[in-house]
């Protein structure tokens, strides 16, 4: 009886599965046991297991089935829905919800495993791609962000936060496949830096993206397949609401449904974007070209560029044409997404619409650019994003786009007492390490180094401007957990439960002072710019004093600057070879950065092989330290001639996603040591000695203590004028707790009394100074080069 009953249900569900196109190859796969089963779908290849089903033998048998291959899934019940009672419907809904939860969990687990595999394979892949790789040669495409395994190119499949989810492999013949079980939907590979870009291109394939990127210079997002264009476009729109999104679609009218064009239009329609399709007019179309890479190969990059520029120029910033395709244009074929109603689809209008239908949760005015404020939905239970990779990817993109933050021109704030490097306007705390680099990359410049969080601003009565996009900084906080949740926790002396603390790295969003309404101006907070600067290091005497105070042995001669570890000496060309004294000090302090690496000081490893990673590591630290010092001291180190190093830095960062963190930390240590602000070390006779006294004039705890006490505001240096002091401003930002250059006193004293230094070094320095006083001639062209053996740690 029971068997007959089941047979009947099996036939019923088999019939339904057959209609859905996912009937099992072997009907015995159908089992009403509440367990999910995988099976080979009839017609699929032997060994495949794309079908799934889960069936319950309840009073009303029900369940679900589907195919991972086609993405189709259906629910099934032995009793039609309309005949079911309310209780039966509730039970059925619950069963279906359980199925969904189970499927989602299984898929997450598969994705998690694939993500781990992807990370391992990506690490194993060679970062250096053969320039003559057959695929790249055939496509005339550069390798941007690719790696290579054997003869296959490897493209990372990441989310917009930089987390690696899967890999795409491209064979020499162009055959493509993805890592098994890896998540691709909504993920992509980005060429260029999308942050802050006005125009973003979205396309299907890597070669198409490379051609578009080369032709336009705009950031290009590769979605890997046509069906992935809509979800990637949606994520791009949420992340970059103000960018102009252009979907550069494939166009193959020979394929039924022309999926490239269809999905491109679907993606554009959903995100208020536009579609541009390659125009092959006048070119040899015998090979049935379909995409922009074909256009590149057949017609060259200028043709792509012209088409893109014409398309962008033709796009109305406020309105897209309704319902029909835009007419083909002379220099290209552009289309707005079809079937859109006649209304305003601009990002501005989209925001207005969102405001008209607000979410119940209070919204913030500024866009936090990530985290909870950017509209991304949660993915509870998923793996944590890798914030190290997120930061590293941002730095890589900046370097690739010639925007390395430490290579930006700088100028120190001209208000007395204002630090040169970013600090928090509400707490006065200077940002540290990697956060300095991130804010230098995000800010408008050095003129105002103040930043502030949204809530911090609100607490002070300031207001982040509507639409302001914040910058990301990273802090850690400790998550407290019980060692064993099932047991009573041990207690401390006060009877409180003892817990373990796990550090969590979190991203915060801060806004620049120029984005905050109501924040006092620098003049209001720090006084007028014409007041005497307490840290006027751009005066040569002060720079010289600081240089001398380091205790470094400096030898002048030759035409090259370098540090020689063997003799622990800095070698500089004579000052007369520098066109201006600022150039001399820029180079001198850069070499002084290398000098701090000696084993008696900060003890960094040395390497003399210019092609070795260790060499690049040291150079990166010296470059960063130069930037930090330069901002403080007002000297500039010209790095133009050392662009070759950037390629080495890129490799360092690609190999190790913590390297930029270490480099920023080390560079800050270098700068702090030379500026006598290092929390642990100070220089004495050119060697490091452990600091036993607190930092001069500073609350050193505020810098590195994991749980810093409330910051005591430091008085803003009073201008040396007869003017009465300004009235205290109750909402003024506190002055930085980092010492506003208290160490200046010692060095200034020394500068005023150079004759007080009777050491051998002091005498030598004065002789040099006397010999070259007033000289500021450009180094003669063709001057003899330093012997190669001396070029140990060059000025770079």
Partner 1 sequence: MLKHILKEPSALRAPWEALVASLDDAGLTETLVEELAELEALKALPEGLHPVVEAYLDTLPGYREGDRSRAAEQHRLRWELWQGLAMVVDAADLAALGLSAEDPSDG
- Please select the residue that binds partner 1; options are 35, 313, 354, 504, rule is CB under 8 A: 504
DSSP-derived pairing of the beta strands 62-67 and 73-77? antiparallel
CA distance 576 to 528: 36
Q: How does DSSP classify residue 441?
A: H
Q: Specify the residue, 319 or 665, whose C-beta has the smaller distance to partner 1.
A: 665
Long-range contacts of 749-752 (CB under 8 A, 24+ apart): 750/545, 750/548, 750/549, 751/541, 751/542, 751/544, 751/545
Q: Does position 331 bind partner 1 by CB under 8 A?
A: no
User: Tell me, what DSSP letter sits at residue 430?
Assistant: B
The distance of closest approach from Cβ of residue 710 to partner 1 in the complex, given in angstroms and rounded to an integer, is: 8
What's the closest the beta carbon of residue 242 comes to partner 1, in angstroms?
22
- The yes or no reply on residue 480 touching partner 1 (CB under 8 A) is yes
Full DSSP string of 493-544: TTSPBP-EEEEEEEEEEEEEGGGEETPPPHHHHH--TTSPPTT-TTSHHHHH
Q: What are phi and psi of 544, to 5 degrees?
A: -65, -40
Q: Which of 77, 216, 596, 668 forms a contact with partner 1 (CB under 8 A)?
A: 668
- Kindly tell me which residue out of 665, 691, 701, 766 binds partner 1, with binding defined by CB under 8 A: 665
Question: DSSP assignment of 563-611, as one string?
Answer: EETTTTEEEE--GGGSSSHHHHHHHHHHHHHHHTTSTTTT-------TT
Site for partner 1 in 729-788 (CB under 8 A): none
Instruction: Report in angstroms how near the CB of residue 564 gets to partner 1 at its nearest.
Output: 28
Q: Does 372 bind partner 1 (CB under 8 A)?
A: yes
Query: From edge to edge, which strands make up the β-sheet containing 274-277?
Result: 189-191, 220-222, 199-203, 244-248, 274-277, 333-336
Q: Tell me: does residue 605 bind partner 1 (CB under 8 A).
A: no
Which of residues 41, 201, 326, 426 is near partner 1 by CB under 8 A?
A: 426
Q: Looking at 81, 128, 476, 608, which residue binds partner 1 (CB under 8 A)?
A: 476
Q: What are the phi and psi torsion angles at 513 (to 5°)?
A: -55, -35
**Closest of 236, 221, 245 to residue 374, by C-alpha:** 236
185 binds partner 1 (CB under 8 A): no
Query: Largest alpha-carbon pair distance within the chain?
Result: 113
User: Which range of residues in 142-150, 329-337, 429-437, 776-784 is near partner 1 by CB under 8 A?
Assistant: 429-437
Map residues 630-649 to x or -, x wherever contact with partner 1 holds by CB under 8 A: --------------------
690 interacts with partner 1 by CB under 8 A: no
- Asked if 595 touches partner 1 (CB under 8 A), the answer is no
C-alpha torsion sign, points 341, 344, 345, 351: negative
Residues 60-119 that bind partner 1 (CB under 8 A): 94, 97, 101, 108-109, 112
Size of the site for partner 1 (CB under 8 A): 69
DSSP conformation class of 694: P
Q: Which stretch binds partner 1 (CB under 8 A): 35-43, 496-504, 600-608, 741-749?
A: 496-504
* Rounded-to-integer distance, Cα 275 and Cα 258, Å: 14
Nearer to partner 1, 478 or 777 (CB): 478
Question: Which one of residues 110, 499, 691, 701 is an interface residue with partner 1 (CB under 8 A)?
Answer: 499
Residue 50 contacts residue 37 (beta carbons within 8 Å)? no
Does 720 engage in binding with partner 1 (CB under 8 A)? no
**Interacting residue with partner 1 among 485, 566, 730, 784 (CB under 8 A):** 485
Judged by CB under 8 A, the residue of 5, 81, 475, 608 near partner 1 is 475
Residue with tokens 């899967």: 166
Shortest gap between Cβ of 698 and partner 1 (angstroms)? Answer: 16
Residue 377 in contact with partner 1, rule: CB under 8 A: yes
In the complex, which residues of this chain contact partner 1 (CB under 8 A)?
94, 97, 101, 108-109, 112, 360-361, 371-372, 377-388, 424, 426-427, 429, 431-435, 453-456, 459, 474-477, 479-486, 496-497, 499-500, 502-508, 658, 661-662, 664-665, 668, 705-708
């Amino acid at each position: 009886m029971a068997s007959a009953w089941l047979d009947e249900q099996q036939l019923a569900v088999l019939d339904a599965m057959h209609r859905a196109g996912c009937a099992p190859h072997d009907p015995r796969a159908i089992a009403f046991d509440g367990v999910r089963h995988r099976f080979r779908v009839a017609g699929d290849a032997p060994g495949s297991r794309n079908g799934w089903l889960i069936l319950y033998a309840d009073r009303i048998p029900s369940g679900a089935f589907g195919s991972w291959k086609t993405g189709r899934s259906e629910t099934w019940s032995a009793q039609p829905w309309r005949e079911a009672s309310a209780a039966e419907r509730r039970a059925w809904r619950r069963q279906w919800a359980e199925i969904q939860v189970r499927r989602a969990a299984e898929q997450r687990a598969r994705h998690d495993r694939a993500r781990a595999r992807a990370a391992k394979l990506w690490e194993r892949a060679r970062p250096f791609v053969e320039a003559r790789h057959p695929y790249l040669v055939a496509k005339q495409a550069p390798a941007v962000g690719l790696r290579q395994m054997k003869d296959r190119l490897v493209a990372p499949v990441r989310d917009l936060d930089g987390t690696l989810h899967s890999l795409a492999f491209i064979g020499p013949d162009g055959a493509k496949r993805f890592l098994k079980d890896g998540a691709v939907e909504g993920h992509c590979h980005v060429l260029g830096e999308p942050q802050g870009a006005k125009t973003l291109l979205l396309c299907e394939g890597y070669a198409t993206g490379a051609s578009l990127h080369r032709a336009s210079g705009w950031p290009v997002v590769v979605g890997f397949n046509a069906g992935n264009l809509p979800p990637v476009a949606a994520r791009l729109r949420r992340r970059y609401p103000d960018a102009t999104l252009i979907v550069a679609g494939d166009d193959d009218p020979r394929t039924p449904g022309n999926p490239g064009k269809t999905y491109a239009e679907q993606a554009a329609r959903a995100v208020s974007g536009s579609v541009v399709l390659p125009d092959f007019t006048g070119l040899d179309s015998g090979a049935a070209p379909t995409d922009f890479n074909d256009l590149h190969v057949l017609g060259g990059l200028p043709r792509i560029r012209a088409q893109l520029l014409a398309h962008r120029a033709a796009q109305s910033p406020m309105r897209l044409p309704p319902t029909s395709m835009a007419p083909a244009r002379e220099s290209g074929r552009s289309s707005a997404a079809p079937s859109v109603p006649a209304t305003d689809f601009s990002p501005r209008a989209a925001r207005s619409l969102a405001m008209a239908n607000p979410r119940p949760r209070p919204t913030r005015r500024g866009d936090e650019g990530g985290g909870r404020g950017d509209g991304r939905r949660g993915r509870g239970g998923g793996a944590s994003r890798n914030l190290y990779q997120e930061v590293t990817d941002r730095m890589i993109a900046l370097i690739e786009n010639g925007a390395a933050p430490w290579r930006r021109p700088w100028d120190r704030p001209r208000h007395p007492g204002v630090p040169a490097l970013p600090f928090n306007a509400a707490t006065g705390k200077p940002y540290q390490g990697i956060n300095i680099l991130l804010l230098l990359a995000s800010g408008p410049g050095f003129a105002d180094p103040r930043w502030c969080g949204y809530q911090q601003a609100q607490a002070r009565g300031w207001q982040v401007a509507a639409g302001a996009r914040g910058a990301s900084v990273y802090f850690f906080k400790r998550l407290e957990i019980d060692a064993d949740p099932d047991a009573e926790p041990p207690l401390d002396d006060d009877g409180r439960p003892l817990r373990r603390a796990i550090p969590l790295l979190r991203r915060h969003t801060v806004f620049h002072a120029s984005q905050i309404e109501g924040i006092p101006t620098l003049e209001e907070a720090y006084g007028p710019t014409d007041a005497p600067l307490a840290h006027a290091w751009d005066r040569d005497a002060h720079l010289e004093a600081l240089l001398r105070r380091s205790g470094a042995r400096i030898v002048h001669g030759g035409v090259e600057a370098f540090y020689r570890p063997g003799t622990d000496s800095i070698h500089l060309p004579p000052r007369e070879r520098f066109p201006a004294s600022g150039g001399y000090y820029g180079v001198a302090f850069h070499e002084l950065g290398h000098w701090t690496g000696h084993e008696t000081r900060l003890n960094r490893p040395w390497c003399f092989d210019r092609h070795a990673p260790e060499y690049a590591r040291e150079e990166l630290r010296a470059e960063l330290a130069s930037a930090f010092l330069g901002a403080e001291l007002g000297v500039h180190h010209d790095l133009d001639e050392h662009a070759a190093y950037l390629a080495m830095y890129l490799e360092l960062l690609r190999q190790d996603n913590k390297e930029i963190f270490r480099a920023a930390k080390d560079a800050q240590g270098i700068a702090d040591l030379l500026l006598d602000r290092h929390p642990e070390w100070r220089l004495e006779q050119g060697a490091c000695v452990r600091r036993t006294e607190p930092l001069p004039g500073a609350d050193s705890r505020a810098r590195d203590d994991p749980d810093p006490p409330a910051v005591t505001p430091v008085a803003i240096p009073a201008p040396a004028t007869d003017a009465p002091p300004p009235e205290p401003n109750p909402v003024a930002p506190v002055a930085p707790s980092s010492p506003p250059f208290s160490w200046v006193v010692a060095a200034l004293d020394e500068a005023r009394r150079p004759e007080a230094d009777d050491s051998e070094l002091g005498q030598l320095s004065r002789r040099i100074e006397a010999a070259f006083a007033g000289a500021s001639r450009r180094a003669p062209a063709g001057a003899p080069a330093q012997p190669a053996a001396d070029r140990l740690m060059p000025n770079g």
